[in-house]
Structure 1
């Protein structure tokens, strides 16, 4: 046989199997286009904003993730396509075509679909890349005209990657054909007729893993610990979901079957029996749909929240426009050194005022105070050091004079010699009336919550100890340092913070110059200078990149979900057609059959969505803590983004249900 005949036969197969090849080709083209667009923008990130390494890193990481997901989608859906055509290849073999001939037909089918998908995808990618590039730089707040270019390197890499993916598909297809005998090919599409057994151990394991993942999410209080345990919880829930769908669903159906009053009803009998016979195959697809749906909702809701709430996040991180921290050359040991530290702070303040006059901005809402800070462990009103690094008992301590704290917070606490005021961001961690630091005990006059929200840490326990004067600050410092070397940091510093009034441009210029200005003015002891405006562009680059990648990853996972649903409907349609025709012959009316079909399809479609919704509800507590650690404390925004994403996804999901159910009905032939 000549190659021309193989090509012709392959082309005819593609035309006759449009319901199988067309969705695969469309999704493949979209995947190629998305990968090219992300890769193209990533390759030009240096032209967008020079030096922003975090943005470039996220874009490149996003490109890798999109590439991996694209490969998984194409390899996974190729299996569906081949399963529906195995019987067709078996007929070819019986009619005289050898396996090597069938392999050549598959080669040309894969080549035609692959080449077409890559070309269409690249053309669409090049067509929309510039539009997306402009959207991206506008998201970054850039107004400069940045040239857009088509990179031949990006084109070559994209072609190479997807050519390799289609070659892998071709290899697995040929391997599948080589391993099957003609009779097995004919029976392959009818595989799974044997009723599956209830695997109670796996079902119970699924319940335990999902429950463990939920427990971690709900009970983990410390945000830093939540970040460490998040991926453990995700892995447990994913594995548990697959176990529940594959074994738990069968076990549940077996229980329904044992309930004779429920089972021996003409509608229930057909639905339960039908689900049992195909559940092993369906369960994988349903579990995949559930997991993908959860990933789409979590990815989109978190990235939308981070990008939309960037101003809230920045203001939590930088409550004042400028924050200057001054330290001594050595550890502060007495009141004289405290006074010297305060004098350095005053020189820094005066230098900041001079720069403000020069840059035509005004300083307002000043806050100047001395604070001792340390990180150690705290339990039952006792401070201690622990090498085990228990995040649940980690506490950040700040010691201030009552005078400074009242001046900053506009409160009216009163000092009492020998008795301290203890404030915390979590009222559950205070016990008794005393503080114990090592072997020393200090009396507490009053306890309460930290007044200013910006003094309350979002990711750890925090204590403010208010003392009458600097002598008491030094006493507590010596007591803390007598324990051992504090875990993360310790030391006394003078803070000078203030807001600016003037144009945004002038404020940004001020923030960019204040560091060099302090060196020019020879202000000593500057340990840190932070400002809101110059860090805003960096944060915008970071979150815009995360949002941009999140949207595309969400779209790709959504596409994968749609494709799995479609092919699941097609495969079930072919399998159910014969069964429902037999039912029609034994006396069931079309109305009764359609009612059975609708109830079964609704169950199959709604189950992954309902389970995904349950996953989102239980995942919310741990995700909220992680978002708070990223300084996004606007819980209302996060809730709105999550609920909105769920509604939009559910709408898209229902549209897919309507469209794919029509394909199912057409294949079954009851309408």
Structure 2
């Protein structure tokens, strides 16, 4: 008897290959993506460089996000498959089968799908892993031989991925079993023809959705502080997602009804059938269309952010690490030139040649009144209070900057900011754009990178600002002495340790640091390359989910419209007219989500750019170039996907 259920399951897969094969292909794709992420995070070579912990965390996070999308995508699409096979299930029950027999068919069906998917996915993962890992290493600009960890990937990630997807397929079985527990043959037949349930109160849901989208847009447009963007970004995303699902039907139906009222447009043969069909479609499948809009938005935002970070690495490194090496320590009795001479002697003894650049720096919390800077009246918590304003002050006595008759040069955090007075000290300030002016100062704390930078040449004015703004007389508000230096000779990884050992006795009673910024640049490249790689992987996952949503939507529409178009053709509609009507309906219904995605992406620009500022990427023009490029790519991709899936629809409707 079990062989009968097995044969019925295999036969069902064969007869409904248009439903099952894309499902298997999507499962294989997610298996490969998750396998790659888990394998990279567990590769022995990942312990050989600084930043590997961050990259491993990113890979694990990417695996979790992909897993969630895999579960949602496969669950949604398996439901669609069973919905379109519901009449077949009803026939089995009518012929005398019991529900427990149907469950056995589902078990054999899912076991067969699982084995096909996991075997193909694991084989592909094993074959391409080292190639992908080599590309990943290249992306991060690391000098590692991927074959040092063996020719084959580590087995544990492959086994873990197989177990994860076994769990997903068990959930698919459990969901289908629970869903059909009260079904009768008539229930199955109704299921095959049922569309998505319309909300009970469509107008209220529409208003709620529009308010949610508006709130998400408002958060994006009004968020000023990068740290605040980190907190509010996910709230804004959640509001837009909820709002899109809630409002899609009302917004689109409203547009279509306006077209209905335009008699000169609506009462044309091809427009009449297209618009009337669209009104039914939108009401019947609003959630699917909203899902396509959300997935498209995710693809655009993730890819744009990833490309911006990767192509902006040089700018980020120049902002944070403008020299080869950097040294810093608190102000001391000896002048900074004393330590420059010590450092020059050490470099000369080690046959190193280069240039030095010294300056003093301070960071002070402030209160503002327009262009006036005032003393803050309370002690802030720099780590957590993102609302606290502050300025970096620099003393650059040997500056190559052209001060002219100005007291200071201001590199402002935005175009609107200006400074004319600090406390009771009037200042004549020359304002410059930091993106168009050489910055020679290191700001290692990226959370402080978007603060005003005020550069002085006069040490008295620099000290006066500290006296006016320091919250107390403790040494904690004293300036730091900084010496940045570049080396013309080949890179020596031991140079920092040599300098540290030679100078440590000079600073035995205070803080002192010496940094290898060449190595730090490589570490930044590795970490940002890792972020870019995870972004590409997630983008591919979202793309596959989008393609599958479009494909099954076309398939569903085709199965649903087959009888309707057959009737219209019997009433005199030609195949040419039918194809025109189909093309217009499909074009409108599938490009509506694309419009939503583009609008969402545009309104996301302010908060995304603030979010990227936390990672020291402040080049908005680069983000816009990447956004336009991703837009163009996605439009082409969407058109190709639409045209390919439209053939499936035409074949079903007009066969």
Determine if the TM-score, normalized by the shorter chain, exceeds 0.5: yes
Counterpart of 1:565 (choices 550, 556, 572) is: 550
C-alpha distance in 1 between matches for 2:210 and 2:44: 45
Q: CA deviation at 1:463?
A: 5.0
| CA deviation profile, 1:524-552 (whole Å, cap 9, x unmatched) | 64533333211123212212221222211
Q: 1:565-593 CA deviation, whole Å, 9 max, x = no partner?
A: 11111111110111111112223222222
Contact 1:222 1:392 in 2 (8 A): yes
1:442 equivalenced with 2:425 (yes/no): yes
After TM superposition, give the deviation of residue 111 of structure 1 in Å: 0.9
Q: Distance in 2 between matches of 1:277 and 1:45?
A: 56
8 A contact 1:424–1:450 mirrored in 2? yes
C-alpha separation in 2, matches of 1:484 and 1:72: 58
State the alpha-carbon separation in 1 of the partners of residues 531 and 315 from structure 2. 17
Q: After the TM superposition, which residues 409-558 of structure 1 pair with which residues of structure 2 at under 5 Å, given as runs? A: 409-414=400-405, 421=408, 423-425=410-412, 426=414, 428-430=416-418, 434-436=421-423, 441-446=424-429, 448-449=431-432, 452-454=437-439, 459-462=449-452, 464=454, 466=456, 468-470=458-460, 472-482=461-471, 490-503=477-490, 505-506=491-492, 508-511=493-496, 513-519=498-504, 525-558=510-543
Relative to 1, partners in 2 of residues 1:483 and 1:465: Cα closer, same or farther, differing over 3 Å?
farther
Q: CA distance change for structure 1 residues 430 and 48 in 2, over 3 Å: closer, same or farther?
A: closer
Separation in 2 of the partners of 1:112 and 1:285? Answer: 27
Superposed counterparts of 1:59-98, under 5 Å: 59-98=59-98
Alpha-carbon offset, residue 496 of structure 1: 1.4
**In structure 2, how many angstroms separate the alpha carbons of the residues matched to 1:194 and 1:524?**
73
Q: Which moved more, 1:263-272 or 1:550-559?
A: 263-272
In structure 1, C-alpha distance between the alignment counterparts of 2:562 and 2:232, rounded to whole Å = 47
Q: Give 1:654 deviation, angstroms.
A: 1.5
TM alignment of 1:593-604, pairs within 5 A: 593-604=578-589
Is the contact between residue 282 and residue 589 of structure 2 (CA under 8 Å) also seen in structure 1?
no
Structure 2 residue ranges without an equivalent (≥5): none
Residues 399/24 of structure 1: CA separation in 2 closer, same or farther (3 Å cut): closer
Alpha carbons of structure 1 residues 215 and 421: separation in structure 2 relative to 1, 3 Å: same
Do structure 1's residue 320 and structure 2's residue 334 form an aligned pair?
no
8 A contact 2:359–2:394 mirrored in 1: no
- Tell me, what secondary structure is at the counterpart of 1:230? helix
Instruction: Find out whether 1:396 has 2:398 as its counterpart.
Output: no
Deviations 1:104-135 (A, max 9, x none): 11111111111111111111111111211222
The offset of 1:308, in angstroms, is: 3.1
Aligned to 1:411, the other structure's residue is in SS state: coil
CA contact (8 A) 1:203 1:247 kept: yes
Q: 2:614 maps to what in 1?
A: 629
Relative to structure 1, is the Cα distance of residues 72 and 246 closer, same or farther in structure 2, using a 3 angstrom cutoff? same
Deviation at 1:8, TM superposition (A): 0.7
Please, which runs of 5 or more residues in structure 1 have no aligned partner?
329-336
Distance change >3 Å, CA 45–CA 61, structure 1 → 2: farther
* Cα deviations by residue, 1:129-164 (Å, 9 ceiling, x for unpaired): 121122222333214452234333223222211111
Match of 2:148 in 1: 146
Q: Please list the CA deviations of residues 303-331 of structure 1 after superposition, one character each: whole Å capped at 9, or x if unmatched.
A: 22322332221111111222211214xxx
Distance 1:108 1:576, change over 3 A: same
Assess if the C-alpha contact under 8 Å between 1:327 and 1:341 holds in 2.
no
Q: Does 1:230 align with 2:233?
A: yes
Q: Do 2:308 and 2:623's aligned partners in 1 also have CA atoms closer than 8 Å?
A: yes
RMSD in angstroms over aligned alpha carbons?
Answer: 3.0
Q: What SS is found at the alignment partner of 1:495?
A: strand
The aligned counterpart of 1:363 is 354
- Cα 1:243–1:360 shift into 2, 3 Å: farther
Alpha carbons of 1:358 and 1:428: their partners in 2 closer, same or farther (altered >3 Å)? same
Deviations 1:56-79 (A, max 9, x none): 222222222222222222112111
State the distance in 1 between where 2:204 and 2:498 align: 66
Q: Which residue of 1 aligns with 2:249?
A: 246
TM superposition shift of 1:54: 1.4
Distance 1:522 1:447 in 2: 37
1:210/1:236 contact within 8 Å kept: yes
1:332 paired residue number: none
Find out whether 1:375 has 2:358 as its counterpart: no
Check conservation: 1:362, 1:502, Cα contact below 8 A. yes
Deviations 1:423-469 (A, max 9, x none): 351453337x5433xxxx22234453477453798853415274744
Instruction: Give the drift of 1:602.
Output: 0.4
The 1:372/1:19 distance shift into structure 2, 3 A limit, reads: closer
Task: State yes or no: 1:346 paired with 2:346.
Answer: no
CA contact (8 A) 1:206 1:248 kept: no
Matched position secondary structure for 2:565: helix
TM-score by length of structure 1 reads 0.87
- Tell me how many residue pairs correspond in the alignment: 638
Q: What is the CA–CA distance in structure 1 between the aligned matches of 2:310 and 2:428, rounded to whole Å? A: 44
* Aligned-residue offset at 1:261: 5.4
Give the drift of 1:511. 4.3
Greater mean deviation of Cα atoms: 631-640 or 23-32:
631-640
Specify the alignment match of 2:109 in structure 1: 109
Work out the CA distance in 2 between the residues paired with 1:311 and 1:592: 56
Preserved CA contact (<8 Å) 2:32 2:125: yes
SS class of match (2:360): strand
What TM-score, normalized by structure 2, do the two folds share?
0.89
Secondary structure of 2:357's counterpart equals strand
Q: Contact (CA 8 Å) 1:189, 1:575: kept in 2 or not?
A: no
